[in-house]
Structure formats: structure tokens, C-alpha cells
Amino acid sequence: MSAWTLVVVIAMTLVGATVAGTTGYGLGLMLLPILSLSLGTRTAVPALAIVQLTSNFSRVIINRKQIEFHYGIWFGIGALPGALIGAWLFSHLPVHGLASIVGIYLILIPFLRRRFSRSFQIPAPGFVAVGFVTSLVSSLIGVVGPLCAPFFLSIGLTRGAFVGTEAVGSVFTHIFKLTGYGLNHVLTSKEVLLGLALSPITWVGSWIGKHAANRLKDHHFANLIDGVCVFFGIILIWKGH
């Protein structure tokens, strides 16, 4: 990785962590393209998982007083098999085109949330299924964006509660992803060192994002999530092609 590329990666890590600290999402989708171009996808995805793990852990710590932990734990139960299956598929199968499918879903999220948010609420154990699907796709393509956003929004979570509770589930996802990558020999010391080197920057971004989220009203926060969904949905469709 050249010095110029490293500067870009550090800058994108800070920006992405700040966006994620505000909305819960964004770091992976900002970092994955530049890491893939400079390192290759097979190296970029495991390295990114380490950065995502520390970023989500920082959001858990920063938002800990507002977190609904039981939703995150149910999510984590589903994340275990989903992440391990996804990691195996990542190491053995081509996954071209999946990013586009996820991108289309993300673009539809604002419509789905407005259409079903009042009538569609799943109980806490239902987050096992959400965790399974989210972790499976995350292990396959490295990032999923706000794939599970409608489900966390539908139970009334917003701002710090939304960001922190989603981060609890994502911590489980990335721990299990990394375990699966290790078992399938696609995680080496190179990816570990790169991920750990970028991780401290995510704490700074999470702190900045937390204070930005506190300034938003609940309905503005939901609208911001919709905008993030559409933006990153377009990026994923572009990436899939």
C-alpha cells in the first residue's frame, strides 16, 4: 500500500466512523472500495471486519446507557450460524451480484419503513432471524449497510439507542465472521495488523458521531437513516456491476 493510499484509507476511516457513530452505518461501505482496490477483496474483507469490530465495540461503550441489550443478544444468537456459513461461502464460492441485490433492498427501505413501520414489529426473539440474514450477507460481501435498519426502527429505537443496540448485534456478527475467516484460512497476520492499526481512529469517529446524533430530533434521525440507506444502496449496486 502506497503512502498516498494509506492517507486516503486513514481519512476515509475517520469519516466513515463518524458517519457510523451518527447513524450506525457507513464505515464498511466507505472503506471497502479503497481497500479492495489496493489489497484485493480476499484481503480487504477480513481486514475490514477487524476495523468494523472495534468500531462497533466503541459505539457500544459510548452509547451503553441507552442500549436495549436483549435485542442485540437475540440478534447475536442468529449471527453465529449466519456468520459462520457466510464465511465458508466467502472462502469457497464467487459472490458476484449479491451486492446489487442488497443495494436494491436498501433503496426500498424508506418506502418499506413508511409503509409497514406501524404494523410490522417483530418481538425480540424475531431478531434471531434478522441476525442470521444480516451476518450471512455481511460475511459474504464484507458490508451490508443498514440491512436491518427497518427492524430496529420499528421497535422505536432512535439516536443513541438505535446506534448502540445495532452495534451490540454487529459486535457478535464480526466476532463470528472473524472466527469463520480464521477457520477457513482467509484471515492472516497481515489482515489482523492492518485492521488493528486503523482501529483507534474509529473510536475518535464514534465519539464525534455520538455528539452529532444527540443534536438530531427523532424524526430527523429516521429521515437521515433513509438517506444513508439510499446512498449506500446505490454504491452497492454500482459495486455489484
pLDDT digits 0-9 by tens, 83-96? 999 999 888 877 66
Closest C-alpha to 186, from 116, 50, 90 = 90
Q: In this predicted model, which residue has the larger pLDDT, 69 or 223?
A: 69
Is the pLDDT at 45 greater than 60? The verdict is: yes
CA–CA gap between residue 27 and residue 13 (Å, rounded): 7
CA–CA gap between residue 102 and residue 96 (Å, rounded): 12
The pLDDT of residue 240 = 61
Which alpha helices (H) appear in the chain, and where do they start and end? 3-23, 27-39, 41-62, 69-92, 98-116, 127-141, 149-154, 159-183, 189-214, 218-240
The pLDDT of residue 210 = 82
Angle (CA) 127-166-231 rounded to 5° is 110
Closest C-alpha to 52, from 181, 158, 235, 152 = 181
Is the pLDDT at 47 greater than 70? The verdict is: yes
Rounded to two decimals, the pTM is 0.81
Confidence bin at 114 (pLDDT 50/70/90): low
* Domain parsing of the chain, residue ranges: 3-240
Is the pLDDT at 125 greater than 80? The verdict is: yes
Closest C-alpha to 28, from 198, 180, 106, 144 = 144
Is the pLDDT at 112 greater than 60? The verdict is: yes
C-alpha cell belonging to residue 165:
443496540
pLDDT digits 0-9 by tens, 165-180? 999 999 999 999 999 9
Share of the chain above pLDDT 90, in %: 30
